[in-house]
Amino acid sequence: MLSLLACAMALCGQDRPNILFIMSDDHAFQAISAYGSAINKTPHIDRIAREGVRLDRCMVTNSICTPSRAAILTGQYSHINGVPVFNRMDPARQTVAKLLQAGGYHTGMIGKWHLGSDPQGFNFWRILPGQGLYHNPVFYDTREAVKHQGYCTDLITDFAIEFLDKRPSDKPFFLMCHHKAPHRNWQPRADKAEKWKNVEVPLPATFDDDYSTRGDAAREATMRVDRDLTPTDLKEKPPEGLTPAQRKRWNYQRYMRDYLACVESVDDSVGRLLGHLDAKGLAGNTLVIYTSDQGFYLGDHGWYDKRFMYEESLRTPLVARWPGKIPAGSSSEAMVLNIDHAPSFLTAAGLPVPADMQGKSALGVMAGKPPADWRTSMYYRYYDYPGAHKVQPHFGIRTATHKLIHFPKINQWELFDLKADPRELNNIAAAPAQAETLAKLKAELARLKADAKDDDRFADKLPPGGVDGPMKPGPRAPR
Ligand code: CA
C-alpha cells in the first residue's frame, strides 16, 4: 500500500494542484459585483472571476446550510447522504476530505462546519460549534475548545493562513475555509457597520411581490422582510409613525446594511488569502474556489432567507481560478451542482471518483469544455417543515428554459417559463396552453427523481435535528 502511494505521488509529483475551497454562508450572487450586483462591490471575489471562471448556473440540491454542507462533502443528494434537514451527519460516511487525505493530500477544515459531529478526514480542523458567534467566538479543534478574541471572519482567515504556513511542503493541500458570515443575524465588524450605516441600499425588482399568482407555499412562508424579521435581526427600534410600506423599507435597509457590511469582511478575507497565495508562490498551482452554501433572498419577493427552489436561493455564486487550466475572464451557463464539488476535487487531484457519488466533475465546464453529455436539467428537493420559516416541502426540476415545482403536502404545482418570466412571478401550471409543456416536464421530473434514486424515504419521516445546539465541549477526538 505504501509503495503504491509513493508511486502515485511520484507519478503525479508537483503536478497535483492545491485546492483552496472558500465557502461563505448565505452569500447571494446578487451581492457580488462579478455577478452584476447593484448594491455592493466585492473586488477580491471579482478577482477570482477575472482570473478564472464565473459560473452562472451553479445550483444547490437542497437550499439550507447543513444539507448543503453534507452534499458538498459526500457528492450525494440529501436522501442518499442521510442529511435532509438539520440532522447530524454520520461521521463514518465517505467524504471528499477522507478520499483526498488517503490520496496523499494534507487536508484542513476551518470555520463553520454545522454537521453536528467532529470532522473526519482532516489533518487539521478548527470549527465553530453549531452556528458559532460573530464576536469573540469559541472554536473547537482536534484537542480543545478555545474562546478567541476578535471578529469571526478575520479569525477564520488568520487560521487558514496559519494552516497554509504550517503545512508540510511535500504534499499538496486541500483546505476548506468556511465562513460563518453573512448568516443571520448579520453582525458586522464595528468599522464596517459604521461605513454602511447611512448607505441607501437599492430595492430589488420584486420587493413588493404579493405572491398572487403563486400557490399557497409562497404566502404561507414566514420569511418576509415586512413582518418576520425579529428585534434580534434588526437590532434597533424603528422610528415611530411609519406606514406599513415605510416600515418594510426601513426593515430592509436595516438588515441589508448589516448583511452587506458582513459581506465586505468576507471579501476582505478572500483578498488576504489570494494575497497570501501570491506571496508564497502558490497561486500558479492552486485551484481556488469561492462559493456559498446556497443563495439568499435580499428582499427579492419581499423575503430574506433561502429554502425555496426559486432562483435567488437555488442558485449560488461560484467563481474558480486555476491558472493554465481555467481560461481567465470566462463564464458558463452550464448547470453545475453542489454535489459536483467532490468529484471535481478528486478529478483535479488525479484520484478516482467513487461510483456512489452522484455529482460529476465540473472541471470541464470550468475549463470551457463541458462534456457533450453534460446535464441540461437538474433535480432539487427541500424537506425542512415547518422549520424556522414554514417553507413547504417541495421537489422539482430546472431546465434551461423552465422550472417545475411540486409541493406534495398541499398537492400544488408551480410552473415558470424562465425565458418569458425570469423573476418567476407567473405560475402557469394551470394554463391550458401549457398542458403539453407541463406533461413533458413532469416526465422529466420523474426521470431525474428516479435517476437520483429518490424513493421518498424522507417524505413523511425526517431524522431528528441536532446540529444547532452547542457541540459537546471538552477534549476532542484525537487526530
Ligand atoms: Ca446557509
Distance from the Cα of residue 22 to its chain's centroid: 10
- 438 CA to centre of ligand 1 in angstroms: 31
Output DSSP code: residue 386.
S
- Determine contact, residues 84/394, Cβ cutoff 8 Å: no
Provide CB contacts within 8 A for 109, sequence distance 6+: 97, 119, 122, 124, 125, 126, 127, 175, 176, 178
Nearest Cα neighbor of 331 from 53, 46, 59 is 53
Distance (Å, whole) CA 320 – CA 288: 6
Please say whether the dihedral angle defined by the alpha carbons of residues 139, 46, 285 and 367, taken in this order, is positive or negative.
positive
Nearest Cα neighbor of 131 from 117, 115, 110, 145 is 115
Q: What is the pLDDT of residues 175-219, one digit of tens each?
A: 999 999 999 999 999 999 999 999 999 999 999 999 999 999 999
- 281 CA to centre of ligand 1 in angstroms: 32
- 467 CA to centre of ligand 1 in angstroms: 13
Q: Give helix then strand counts, H and E, for the chain.
A: 14, 16
* Section 213-232 average pLDDT: 97
- 178 CA to centre of ligand 1 in angstroms: 11
Q: What is the pLDDT of residues 403-415, one digit of tens each?
A: 999 999 999 999 9
- 30 CA to centre of ligand 1 in angstroms: 15
Output DSSP code: residue 448.
H
Question: What is the domain partition of the chain in residue ranges?
Answer: 2-376
- 443 CA to centre of ligand 1 in angstroms: 31
Helix (H) / strand (E) element for 417: namely strand 412-417
User: What per-residue confidence (pLDDT) applies to 2?
Assistant: 46
- 26 CA to centre of ligand 1 in angstroms: 4
User: What per-residue confidence (pLDDT) applies to 161?
Assistant: 98
Assigned CATH topology for domain 2-376: Alkaline Phosphatase, subunit A (3.40.720)
Bigger pLDDT: 47 or 143? 47
- 64 CA to centre of ligand 1 in angstroms: 5
- 72 CA to centre of ligand 1 in angstroms: 13
Dihedral pair phi/psi, residue 193, rounded to 5°: -60, -40
- 402 CA to centre of ligand 1 in angstroms: 25
- 284 CA to centre of ligand 1 in angstroms: 30
Pairing of strands 394-399, 402-407: antiparallel
Distance (Å, whole) CA 18 – CA 282: 8
Q: What is the pLDDT of residues 61-80, one digit of tens each?
A: 999 999 999 999 999 999 99
Full-model pTM: 0.95
- 182 CA to centre of ligand 1 in angstroms: 9
Nearest Cα neighbor of 95 from 163, 3, 176 is 176
Distance (Å, whole) CA 236 – CA 256: 13
| Structure-block grid coordinates of residue 298 | 435580499
- 65 CA to centre of ligand 1 in angstroms: 4
| Structure-block grid coordinates of residue 364 | 470541464
Distance (Å, whole) CA 99 – CA 121: 8
Task: Return left, alpha or beta for 13; rule: phi > 0 is left, psi -120 to 50 is alpha, else beta.
Answer: left
User: What per-residue confidence (pLDDT) applies to 76?
Assistant: 98
Q: What is the pLDDT of residues 277-321, one digit of tens each?
A: 999 999 999 999 999 999 999 999 999 999 999 999 999 999 999
Q: State the amino acid at position 265 in one-letter form.
A: S
Nearest Cα neighbor of 220 from 86, 61, 65, 385 is 385
| Structure-block grid coordinates of residue 26 | 448565505
* Section 379-404 average pLDDT: 97
Provide CB contacts within 8 A for 333, sequence distance 6+: 56, 57, 400
User: What per-residue confidence (pLDDT) applies to 473?
Assistant: 53
Percentage, residues of the chain above pLDDT 70:
95
Q: What is the pLDDT of residues 317-345, one digit of tens each?
A: 999 999 999 999 999 999 999 999 999 99
- 100 CA to centre of ligand 1 in angstroms: 25
What is the chain's mean pLDDT, rounded? 95
Report the C-alpha dihedral over residues 190, 191, 197, 199, rounded to 10 degrees: -150
User: What per-residue confidence (pLDDT) applies to 472?
Assistant: 62
- 71 CA to centre of ligand 1 in angstroms: 13
